[in-house]
Amino acid sequence: MDELRLRILTDGRNLGNGILKVDGFINHQVDPTLMNSCGRELAQRFGGVRATKVLTAEISGIAPALTTAMYLSVPVVYARKTKPITMPDQIFLTLAPSHTKGRTVELIVSPEYLGREERVLIIDDFLATGQTIMGLVRLAQAAGASVVGVGALVEKRFEGGRELLSTLGVPIEALAVITDMDNGKIVFGD
């Protein structure tokens, strides 16, 4: 998606070690117009999977998941990283390593909002190693739901996440695919 690629090149920063700083428009300060365009594009790409829910991880995945779900006319469920007192005692919980946080995080979903009959589309801001998305897959599977697709705003193809997720046998889409971030550059692929 040209609009997202251009924004990454103009406002994103390669911080080294595979870290792409996009918090000025994607995941700290959010550009709602850009997220709307991204959500519309992801919804078009996944229109045929008949999703009944969009699942994402707190907090960075919420904006693209919300706009995608809006165009698909389905609810969004986001996996929380801490359990609030309003959540039931019985929960779905998994652990996933966070590259940007440098530690393992909990991903928690209430069984009130994810069930057996659901067809789950997973949307996140990044597809890198695939570990966070696999955590979301485990949550959906624990609920007895079917994962019907995986979408991301940005894929760092060189980190191998697509290969990990390919075993799921579902469509995987990324709006901006980065193939190289060596020596401070940002190189896009198809």
Phi, psi of 186 (to 5 degrees): -130, 110
- Residues, the chain, total? 190
For residue range 75-101, list pLDDT tens digits in order. Answer: 999 999 888 888 988 999 999 987 767
Phi, psi of 124 (to 5 degrees): -140, 170
> One-letter amino acid identity for 83?
K
Under CATH, which number does the domain 2-188 receive?
Answer: 3.40.50.2020
For residue range 102-148, list pLDDT tens digits in order. Answer: 789 999 999 999 999 999 999 999 999 999 999 999 999 999 999 99
Contact 16, 22 (CB under 8 A): no
- Torsion angle defined by CA atoms of residues 23, 186, 151 and 66, in that order, rounded to the nearest 10 degrees: 20
pTM value is 0.96
Cα–Cα distances in angstroms (integers) from residue 79 to residues 12, 55, 66, 150, in the given order: 26, 7, 13, 15
